[in-house]
Chain A
């Protein structure tokens, strides 16, 4: 197995701490809120309010389970449109009360199902991209595990994007890439290496700003090792982002996403 596929395997491990566990390790007074006020409560997206040291924050993330029962409740971390709409509702609430938003991303992607299409999976993701780009409060996104495609991006239009050492973010899975582009699923390792989906690769492309290291014994055995680094990053970054004017904050966010792409003109 090459280095990238090893990381992919770690990112997908069922024991890997999930969003609720990260939230509980990082914040106090977490209260989970439910529902999108339109149709349902999607267990694949969790969120609510909490306190980081003395700062009230809104926390939102994609939730995975550690066993089948838990995974049935959270649909294996694959949100339906209601999940994205719940996330947006909580972000708008954060904007109203001037709370920074911190999102946790760990998903193979948005759920591809008949009902998800009927209720507008594409519209829900699109709406989040547009609304987040203009949300008048700071947004920090942390990729904790898998970051699959538009379903991950829908929570990641942020002022700064961080990633755990074994996190990833890609346009599709290496398996999908190999089978679609090469019609050969056995070339998954080659695809993974090519796709530049690891934290280090993404930092070079300015998609990720900060990497948090994971303990040698595995993050599931020592979550604190990593959450201490996240805490110190939040301690530094939250006041910095909160001190910006709304105009300054949105201008910076616009520039961040405006820069992406490689092309020539001649």
Chain B
């Protein structure tokens, strides 16, 4: 059985280190308050003010995880983004005990109502529909709200004949919503089929991490698939694979560079160049 994994950690066989890694990585997406932060890649201690709006490690260039707001700020023309469905909130289809509390906590922590922000915006004057996922919200897991918001964004793009750009980051299906979370994969993919049939452009930008049910649906369906450097991208979780095959996983397994080498990513684009490349792609598809 595929266990859509929630945590990512080094596979060194050292349980204590793994546990501490896990705890640390859980905090990784948000750069914590305070003057200093530590880069999980190069382990440098960084003065927080040195981290620009691109959220890169000033020492090694590692791409830290971003919030949708931060992403939209570095991607869309100033003031061009109009959000859709910002009030949509999850119910509890499986009656999972404590789900409402988990959601409230995630809302407080992330400051947004669910794990994706969708809307209409512009890049260099070119219009597009955007969906930006947020790994700070329950690891970007896809439940009914994520599925519905993304589906509506796709349908809007189809209806207004607009290109669609989705920034993915997700641990996969939201297990607390049971089978309904799984069905979102089919729902979004069906909407994308119509956008595709209409001859419209769909770009995915894979960011760290993109796994499970999101990889196995809209992340891999872009006409053009871009990725940020070193992003973890895969279907099965590394822990599940290891438990199945009882072998060490190769260095760089399921990273963006691995996916490029195996033919599943068109281009790896550093974050500082992403907006410009998206603008070129939109321009070439509007001529």
Inter-subunit contact A260/B220 (CB<8 Å): no
Inter-subunit contact B85/A265 (CB<8 Å): yes
Q: Give the contacting residue for B241; candidates A113, A134, A175, A179; CB below 8 A.
A: A113
Assembled-state Cα–Cα distance A62/B5 (Å) = 24
A59: Cβ under 8 A from any B Cβ:
no
B18 to chain A, nearest CB (A): 13
Inter-subunit contact A176/B95 (CB<8 Å): no
The residues of A that contact B95 with a CB separation of less than 8 Å are: 194
The residues of B that contact A169 with a CB separation of less than 8 Å are: 179
Given the interface contacts A122-B235, A263-B91, does A172 sit within 8 Å of B247 by beta carbon? no
Question: Which residue of the partner chain B has the closest CB to A152?
Answer: B182
Inter-subunit contact B6/A180 (CB<8 Å): yes
The residues of A that contact B47 with a CB separation of less than 8 Å are: none
Inter-subunit contact B217/A172 (CB<8 Å): no
A97: Cβ under 8 A from any B Cβ:
no
B192: Cβ under 8 A from any A Cβ:
yes
The residues of B that contact A254 with a CB separation of less than 8 Å are: 190, 194
11 CB contacts below 8 A, A to B, read: A112-B2, A122-B216, A129-B185, A130-B189, A150-B213, A150-B217, A180-B6, A197-B179, A202-B179, A261-B93, A262-B180
Chain B 223-249 near chain A by CB (<8 Å), digits 1 or 0: 000000000001111001100110101
Assembled-state Cα–Cα distance A179/B243 (Å) = 13
A110: Cβ under 8 A from any B Cβ:
yes
Assembled-state Cα–Cα distance A156/B179 (Å) = 13
Chain B 246-280 near chain A by CB (<8 Å), digits 1 or 0: 01011001100010001110000000000000000
B19 to chain A, nearest CB (A): 11
A123: Cβ under 8 A from any B Cβ:
yes
**How many contacts A-B (CB < 8 Å)?**
216
A235: Cβ under 8 A from any B Cβ:
no
Assembled-state Cα–Cα distance A153/B235 (Å) = 14
Interface residues of B in 55-111 (CB under 8 A from A): 85, 87-97
A161 to chain B, nearest CB (A): 11
Inter-subunit contact A114/B180 (CB<8 Å): no
Inter-subunit contact B87/A172 (CB<8 Å): no
Question: Which residue of the partner chain A has the closest CB to B87?
Answer: A265
Assembled-state Cα–Cα distance A263/B240 (Å) = 31
Contact surface of B with A, Cβ cutoff 8 Å: 1-6, 85, 87-97, 143-145, 147-148, 151, 173, 175-187, 189-194, 196-197, 212-213, 215-221, 234-237, 240-241, 244-245, 247, 249-250, 253-254, 258, 262-264
Inter-subunit contact A123/B264 (CB<8 Å): yes
Inter-subunit contact A181/B176 (CB<8 Å): yes
Q: Give the contacting residue for A262; candidates B90, B187, B196; CB below 8 A.
A: B90
A92: Cβ under 8 A from any B Cβ:
no
The residues of B that contact A195 with a CB separation of less than 8 Å are: 94, 178-179
A123 to chain B, nearest CB (A): 4
B236 to chain A, nearest CB (A): 3
Assembled-state Cα–Cα distance A180/B189 (Å) = 26
Q: A258-B151, A263-B89 are in contact. List 13 more A-B contacts (CB 8 A).
A: A112-B236, A125-B216, A130-B221, A133-B193, A134-B193, A150-B182, A171-B178, A196-B179, A205-B180, A260-B184, A261-B93, A262-B93, A263-B148
Question: Which residue of the partner chain A has the closest CB to B4?
Answer: A172
A207: Cβ under 8 A from any B Cβ:
yes
A177: Cβ under 8 A from any B Cβ:
yes
Question: Which residue of the partner chain A has the closest CB to B233?
Answer: A122
The residues of B that contact A119 with a CB separation of less than 8 Å are: 262
A199 to chain B, nearest CB (A): 12
Assembled-state Cα–Cα distance A194/B179 (Å) = 11
Question: Which residue of the partner chain A has the closest CB to B236?
Answer: A112
The list of the 8 closest CB pairs from A to B, nearest first, reads A261-B144, A112-B236, A122-B215, A173-B1, A122-B235, A129-B189, A133-B190, A260-B183
Assembled-state Cα–Cα distance A194/B36 (Å) = 44
The residues of B that contact A131 with a CB separation of less than 8 Å are: 193
Interface residues of A in 137-157 (CB under 8 A from B): 148-151, 153-154, 156-157
The residues of B that contact A261 with a CB separation of less than 8 Å are: 93, 143-145, 147-148, 180, 183-184, 187
A51: Cβ under 8 A from any B Cβ:
no
Q: Give the contacting residue for B2; candidates A123, A151, A205, A266; CB below 8 A.
A: A151
B271 to chain A, nearest CB (A): 23
Interface residues of A in 246-266 (CB under 8 A from B): 253-254, 257-258, 260-266
The residues of B that contact A34 with a CB separation of less than 8 Å are: none
Inter-subunit contact A150/B93 (CB<8 Å): no
A239: Cβ under 8 A from any B Cβ:
no
